[in-house]
A and B are shown apart, each in its own frame.
Chain A
Amino acid sequence: MADRDFVIRAAQGEKFRAATAEKIMTEVVAEQLAGEIFSMLTVEDLGRKISDAINQRLKDLNLPRYKFIVQVMIGESRGQGVHAMSQCVWDADVDGMATINYNLNNIWCQATAFAIFTY
């Protein structure tokens, strides 16, 4: 695409919105985790399935200039401490992130989506 148009800001309606993404992520996680109990045997598949599903739903939002990174952490609740944190170096005007936490049975799940704008 040599004749590609460069823009500095996302067009109206084409900007990543954290609230929309969070709603999607909660839906996906709740749907995929329903009835699950933590097992080291299934957790890798489960994580892959959830992150793939979220990624697909984010793509379906039709935000043409965005790249997405979806990270899903699934852990077992056994009274242990865990702490997750992230930091980004990016353009705060157009790039964004959304994160949700979800607890069910003995599983805790944290899903984070990062959206990076390409100019």
Chain B
Amino acid sequence: RSSYRIPSRMASNGTTHEDLSSQVENNGHPDNNTALATLTQGEIDKIAKMVLDQVIGQQAYTYSESSAWNQLIVEQITTELVRTQRPYKFIVTSALLQTANGSGLNVSSVSYWNKATDLSFSYRWENKHMLAVVNVFAVAF
């Protein structure tokens, strides 16, 4: 079990992962020592930051546009992930929250998977008007 928390009163993120390795065997997945096979948080941060800066930048929050932004965000992050040619199934989730009213948000996730091969990343991005929480799960198959 690991836990990750975004240090902020606005949003927090708790992640728990339960090890499945005793039940699901690592089926020929490239081992984690291979530099190319393992994704790192740094890589995800870079991709997510690039996409978010590009899609939203410093724009103010408008509800009508947020749906289109969010769609662009997940699409572009997914595209970038696939481009890295890593042998995973990817799940990208993104939440866009208007921060003007000072409301709280908590995103927590729990997984039941193989700790040795499957990865989870979280990235938090904000500008003056909104907050984005991007979660990326990479699951070996």
Q: Which residues of A contact B (CB under 8 A)?
A: 1, 4, 6, 38, 40, 43-44, 46-48, 50-52, 54-55, 58-59, 65, 67-91, 95, 112, 114, 116-119
Contacts and interface: CB of A to CB of B under 8 A. Distances in A.
Given A4-B25, A87-B92, A89-B89, A79 B106 contact: no
Contacts, number: 170
B71 to A, nearest CB: 6
A83 to B, nearest CB: 4
A6 B27 contact: yes
Instruction: Determine chain A's interface SS by DSSP, over half rule.
Output: mixed
A118 B141 contact: yes
B90 A67 contact: no
Contacts of B70: 83-85
B48 interface: no
Interface string B59-98: 0010100110111011101100110000001111111111
Contact of A68 (B75, B94, B112, B120): B112
Given A6-B27, A84-B95, A85-B71, A75 B16 contact: no
A61 B138 CA distance: 23
Contact of B107 (A73, A90, A91): A73
Given A1-B25, A67-B139, A73 B105 contact: yes
Given A47-B14, A55-B18, A87-B92, 10 more contacts: A43-B12, A44-B14, A67-B113, A69-B113, A74-B106, A82-B97, A83-B63, A86-B91, A88-B92, A89-B90
B74 A79 contact: no
6 contacts: A48-B16, A69-B113, A70-B111, A80-B103, A85-B71, A116-B91
Given A44-B14, A69-B111, A116 B93 contact: no
